[in-house]
């Protein structure tokens, strides 16, 4: 039996070496001083009224690196932040303005928020799915070579270090870090110990707050599984992942599955949440992922207490036969029940659906995909489409080797997606079409990293336009609020009526939207005892304004701070009042509480939902 190796790393030294240690600064003198080539380059960038790639290249050639080569955008931004930290008046420019000129990977923050993904540690999984890889170095279903997994392992799965370091990387790329969507991944969140969940979320909030204050609180890392200790053999038996994970964790933590420090009280979590309400770096959205059979009314209330606003639900299929063949461990009825509970509680619904599962075929997949939107018991807000890719540690290898399962041919898969994606309605966003698994890990199945682009190109050649949200976002545009019109889409769900209010530009682009749920009293009655603050109220499930992400309090000239959100909320309040609801409750992240208070919402003591009274005068 291989053993676990505990590693302790000084994260300040490892994750944030100085610019000189990374080779970003000249070996002699102060590289951020005006007389240095890098300092002069910064001054030139600041002085430029507009800066395209050609003019930037001219500046880089004029002020090269000592010894040859050019300073990169990241070099410039890192040196600027370092000098500004020492002397805020060093340059006649602020970080936001310089970031706009030099931002790398600009699409990361063009949807209005900055996504920060944090991974939980490896832990036993309640599922026995045949398609899932069994990499004991990672939470179940994840692979150590995935980019996000590599970052998590580098930081020993510590939530604070992962969050702080990711924010630091974004800042060095020129992105504003004031509005963050925290995405907590790692398999079945609801199966982790409650104290670990509180600790994990609290430490993420602490990292956001500290980063905004310029405090680097990263300390010694925790013990992790040895990355050289992969699960042996290609075909892990059912339960083998759990057995090996438990053996390793119990030997590491004296019979426990978590370390003693991986625990937080309710009071500690609440303190971290309150601090983040007014922090410079705020959580404006918090998502977790789980299985349908782990969702209950009590669990939904617990997720709200953590500050969760979105749940990624791995439904995989809406065919009981396919679920059974894959040993998913739950039926479609559990999926319908989970979605009803989450919708009644106001969560944003982000479902995962898989093509090419055992027991299915392209035509069956087409019928199954149609159920996502034709069945009022489903109808998600967001969707991830994952074609099945076979990894050697998945039990599905046995079906493949025996000929009981085959991967779709590349053209077969493209045609399936070409048929499915145009049916996604205006009110749903397709966030992914493949898993971010490196091609060398995939034994058989789709290896095209640009599968989505290929599908969209094929659709364009056939004259087909997608209606889903992602394809219509304004992205880098800055439409004026009075140049947009609000278009409403109304659709039925099992518990009531959903109204999707979208702000559309004259060109048909999506500048922002709001999700309003009008529950039927009879359908939502069973949830009243667990969510008394929602009784009689309509539910505002999401408000999103697109455009370049901005920091809280930034100028109203930015697309995000020009009143579009307020306009959507007023329209939602009118619709809720006309439908006979006494108030409008909102599921809100802790970092958006201040904004909702400005709109008239009140957060009562002990309540999980700020509410806008619709009968009382404002």
Q: 385 and 451 in contact (C-beta within 8 Å)? A: no
Residue range 109-128: average pLDDT?
A: 87
Does residue 110 register a pLDDT over 90?
A: no
Q: What is the pLDDT of residues 583-601, one digit of tens each?
A: 999 999 999 999 999 999 9
Residue range 366-379: average pLDDT?
A: 98
Q: Which ranges in 128-193 belong to alpha helices (H)?
A: 147-154, 159-172
CATH of span 308-472: 3.30.750.200
pLDDT band at 243 (very low <50, low <70, confident <90, very high): confident
Integer Cα distance of 42 and 45 in angstroms = 5
Please tell me the predicted confidence (pLDDT) of residue 252. Answer: 83
pLDDT band at 387 (very low <50, low <70, confident <90, very high): very high
Q: What is the pLDDT of residues 343-356, one digit of tens each?
A: 999 999 999 999 99
Look up the pTM and report it: 0.85
Q: 435 and 385 in contact (C-beta within 8 Å)? A: no
Q: For strands 510-519 and 496-504, give the pairing.
A: antiparallel
Q: Which residues make up the CATH 3.30.750.200 domain(s) of the chain?
A: 308-472
pLDDT band at 313 (very low <50, low <70, confident <90, very high): very high
CATH of span 481-613: 3.40.630.30
Q: How many residues does the chain have?
A: 618
Please tell me the predicted confidence (pLDDT) of residue 31. Answer: 39
Structure tokens at 482: 């009075």
Cα–Cα distances (Å) from 47 to 56, 76, 544, in that order, read: 12, 14, 35
165-179, 471-485, 564-578, range with the lowest pLDDT:
471-485
Q: Which of 224-228, 399-403, 524-528 has the highest mean pLDDT?
A: 399-403
Please tell me the predicted confidence (pLDDT) of residue 517. Answer: 98
Cα 70–Cα 105–Cα 429 angle in degrees, nearest 5: 170
Please tell me the predicted confidence (pLDDT) of residue 34. Answer: 38
The CB density around residue 368, as the number of other CB atoms within 10 Å, is 20
Does residue 307 register a pLDDT over 50?
A: yes
Q: What is the pLDDT of residues 122-160, one digit of tens each?
A: 999 999 999 998 888 889 999 988 989 999 988 989 999
Q: For strands 390-391 and 382-387, give the pairing.
A: unpaired
Q: For strands 382-387 and 429-432, give the pairing.
A: parallel
Integer Cα distance of 126 and 613 in angstroms = 42
Please tell me the predicted confidence (pLDDT) of residue 617. Answer: 47
DSSP string, 379-426: --SEEEEEE--EETTSTHHHHHHHTS--PPPHHHHHHHHHHHGGGS-T
DSSP string, 502-519: EEE-TTS-EEEEEEEEEE
580 contact partners, CB below 8 Å, separation of at least 6: none
Could you tell me which of 261, 168, 171 has the C-alpha nearest to residue 207?
168
Please tell me the predicted confidence (pLDDT) of residue 81. Answer: 72
pLDDT greater at residue 78 or residue 448: 448
pLDDT greater at residue 231 or residue 164: 164
pLDDT greater at residue 603 or residue 174: 603
Q: What is the pLDDT of residues 452-471, one digit of tens each?
A: 999 999 999 999 999 999 99
pLDDT band at 20 (very low <50, low <70, confident <90, very high): very low
Q: Which residues make up the CATH 3.40.630.30 domain(s) of the chain?
A: 481-613
Please tell me the predicted confidence (pLDDT) of residue 511. Answer: 93
Structure tokens at 73: 């955008």
Residue range 425-443: average pLDDT?
A: 92
Phi-psi region of 157 (alpha: psi -120 to 50; beta: other; left: phi over 0): left
Integer Cα distance of 577 and 132 in angstroms = 47
Spell 74-98 as b/e; 16+ CB within 10 A means b.
bbbbbbbbbbbeeeeebbebebbeb
């Amino acid at each position: 039996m291989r053993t676990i190796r505990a590693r302790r790393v000084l994260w300040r030294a490892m994750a944030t070496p100085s610019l000189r240690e990374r080779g970003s600064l000249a070996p002699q003198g102060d590289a951020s001083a005006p007389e240095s080539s890098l300092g002069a380059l910064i001054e030139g960038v600041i002085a430029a009224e507009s800066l395209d790639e050609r003019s930037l290249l001219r500046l880089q050639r004029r002020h090269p690196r000592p010894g040859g080569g050019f300073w990169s955008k990241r070099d410039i931004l890192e040196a600027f932040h370092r000098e500004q930290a020492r002397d805020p008046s060093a340059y006649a420019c602020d970080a936001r303005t310089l970031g706009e000129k030099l931002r790398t990977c600009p699409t990361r923050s063009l949807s209005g928020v900055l996504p920060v993904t944090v991974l939980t540690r490896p832990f036993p999984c309640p599922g026995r799915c045949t398609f899932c890889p069994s990499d004991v170095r990672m939470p179940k279903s994840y692979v150590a070579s995935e980019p996000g997994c590599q970052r998590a392992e580098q930081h020993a799965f510590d939530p604070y270090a992962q969050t702080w370091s990711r924010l630091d990387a974004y800042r060095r790329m020129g992105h504003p870090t004031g509005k963050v969507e925290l995405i907590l991944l790692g398999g079945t969140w609801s199966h982790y110990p409650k104290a670990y969940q509180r600790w994990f979320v609290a430490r993420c909030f602490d990292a956001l707050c500290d980063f905004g204050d310029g405090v680097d609180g990263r300390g010694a890392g925790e013990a992790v599984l040895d990355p050289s200790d992969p699960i042996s053999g290609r075909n892990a038996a059912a339960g083998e992942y759990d057995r090996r994970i438990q053996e390793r964790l119990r030997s590491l933590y004296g019979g426990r599955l978590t370390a003693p420090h991986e625990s937080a009280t309710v009071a500690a979590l609440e303190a971290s949440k309150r601090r983040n309400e007014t922090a410079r770096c705020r959580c404006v959205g918090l998502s977790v992922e789980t299985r349908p059979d782990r969702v209950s009314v009590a669990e939904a209330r617990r997720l709200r207490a953590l500050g969760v606003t979105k749940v990624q639900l791995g439904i995989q299929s809406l065919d009981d036969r396919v679920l059974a063949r894959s040993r998913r461990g739950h039926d479609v009825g559990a999926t319908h029940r989970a979605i009803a509970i989450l919708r009644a509680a106001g969560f944003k619904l982000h479902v995962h659906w898989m093509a090419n599962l055992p027991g299915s075929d392209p035509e069956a997949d087409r019928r199954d995909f149609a159920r996502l939107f034709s069945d009022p018991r489903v109808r998600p807000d967001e969707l991830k489409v994952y074609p099945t890719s076979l990894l050697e540690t998945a039990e599905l290898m046995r079906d493949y080797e025996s000929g009981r399962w085959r991967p779709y041919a590349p053209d077969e898969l493209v045609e399936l997606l070409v048929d499915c994606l145009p049916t996604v309605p205006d009110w749903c966003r397709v966030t992914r079409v493949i898993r971010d698994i490196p091609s060398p890990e995939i034994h058989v199945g789709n290896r095209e990293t640009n599968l989505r682009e290929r599908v969209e190109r094929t659709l364009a050649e056939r004259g087909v336009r997608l209606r889903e949200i992602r394809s219509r976002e304004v992205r880098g545009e800055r439409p004026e609020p009075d140049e947009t019109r609000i278009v409403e889409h109304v659709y039925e769900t099992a518990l009531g009526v959903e109204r999707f209010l979208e702000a559309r530009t004259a060109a048909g682009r999506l500048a922002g939207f709001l999700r309003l749920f009008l529950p039927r009293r009879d359908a939502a009655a069973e949830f009243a005892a667990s969510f008394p603050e929602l009784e009689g109220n309509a539910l505002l499930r999401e408000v999103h304004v697109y455009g370049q992400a901005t920091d809280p309090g930034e100028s109203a000239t930015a697309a995000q701070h020009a009143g579009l959100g307020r306009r959507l909320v007023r329209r939602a309040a009118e619709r809720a009042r006309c439908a006979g609801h006494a108030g409008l409750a909102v599921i809100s992240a802790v970092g958006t509480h201040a904004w909702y208070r400005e709109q008239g919402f009140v957060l009562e003591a002990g309540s999980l939902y700020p509410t806008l009274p619709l009968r009382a005068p404002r």
